[in-house]
Amino acid sequence: MTKEPSLQRVTVPEIFKRKGHPSKITALTAYDYTVARIVDAAGVDVVLVGDSLGTVVQGLETTLPVTLEEMIYHARCVARGLKRALLVSDLPFLSYQPSSERAIEAAGRMLKEGGAAAVKLEGGLAVGGIIAAITSFDIPVMGHVGLTPQSFHRMGGHKIQGRQSAGNGKCLPGSRERVIEDALAVEEAGAFAVVIEGVPHDLAAEITEKLSIPTIGIGAGPHCDGQILVTHDLLGLSAKVPGFVKRRADLGVLAEEALRSYVEEVRGGV
Ligand code: KIV
């Protein structure tokens, strides 16, 4: 029989302590109250209001246009649906990169207005100072390295990162060495956990081994300290689903069938 998770709130220190723990960290996205309630009831540890909201909810090609106001609004909706899970919210593109001041303000608003307990932001070496500035004000930060969707144009699409070795000592973005350097920089700056997205399994395993903070993988193999997925992908609700996702339900098809039967009955006067 599986043990029911307790209803006590999951905290940032608890997630931090799960480094290397046999029971891995479970994380999923939510963008609204209804899905937040379901994900929370399923016993997930971390609920992320991802800026994947841009592609999943808003139908955009990339996450770049998502605004801080939109993220705060969705975080607030999700917060109302959670009883147990830790709420982490993404900081969208250009809300934290320009300066530490802008980043502290954006992160602070996410806690104050969005109800999040922590923020997530993308990047490594380039954002070390920003992460340090935010965490110095006791705002917990989750890092995000490897395939960082806000770097869509630099990567030339949502492409696997860290496949090639720099080989020239230059540690260029996208190289294996650079992904490792980025992860180390995130840890050094004070993040309590880091998402590793879209890298070869052995690279995620190497980073997980090197870091003392938990790693949460997505499309990065089974060796991280936890896993995160976009809920709509795993429930069969997304238009496009990455190849690594194991679809666990076909809710899109079920919903369409249910709605068709409604349309037919109403048309037929039933
Ligand atoms: O925006 C997002 O949803 C994410 C992940 C799924 C890691 O960053």
Q: What is the pLDDT of residues 101-145, one digit of tens each?
A: 999 999 999 999 999 999 999 999 999 999 999 999 999 999 999
Distance 9 CA to ligand 1 centre (A): 22
| Helix locations, 20-122, DSSP H | 33-41, 53-56, 68-81, 100-112
Among 152, 197, 232, the mutation site with the greatest number of ligand 1 atoms within 8 A of its Cβ is: 197
233 in ligand 1 pocket by Cβ < 6 Å? no
**Burial zone of 240 (CB within 10 Å; 0-12 exposed, 13-18 middle, 19+ buried):** exposed
Residues with catalytic function: 197
Q: How confident is the model at residue 240 (pLDDT cuts 50, 70, 90)?
A: confident
| Alpha-carbon gap, residue 180 to 70, rounded angstroms | 32
Asked whether 197 lines ligand 1 (CB < 6 A), one says yes
For residue 29, report the phi and psi dihedrals to the nearest 5 degrees.
Answer: -90, 160
> Is any ligand 1 atom within 6 A of the Cβ of residue 50?
yes
* pLDDT tens string 63-76: 999 999 999 999 99
Pocket residue to mutate for ligand 1, from 78, 230, 235, 241, most atoms within 8 A of Cβ: 230
Distance 264 CA to ligand 1 centre (A): 38
The pLDDT confidence band at residue 5, using thresholds 50, 70 and 90, is low
**pLDDT class of 171 with cuts at 50, 70, 90:** confident
Average pLDDT, rounded, for the chain: 96
**Which of 188, 206, 17, 24 shows the shortest CA–CA distance to 196?**
206
Please tell me if the CB atom of residue 106 comes closer than 6 angstroms to any atom of ligand 1.
no
- For a mutational test of ligand 1's pocket, the pick from 218, 227, 229, 240, i.e. the residue with the most ligand atoms closer than 8 A to its C-beta, is 218
Q: Whose CA is nearest to atom 5 of ligand 1?
A: 50
pLDDT bin (cut points 50, 70, 90) of residue 3 is: low
Which residue segments constitute the domains of the chain, with CATH numbers given? 12-234 (3.20.20.60)
pTM of model > 0.85: yes
248 close to 240: Cβ distance less than 8 angstroms: no
Please state, in angstroms and rounded to a whole number, the distance separating the CA atoms of residues 13 and 164.
35
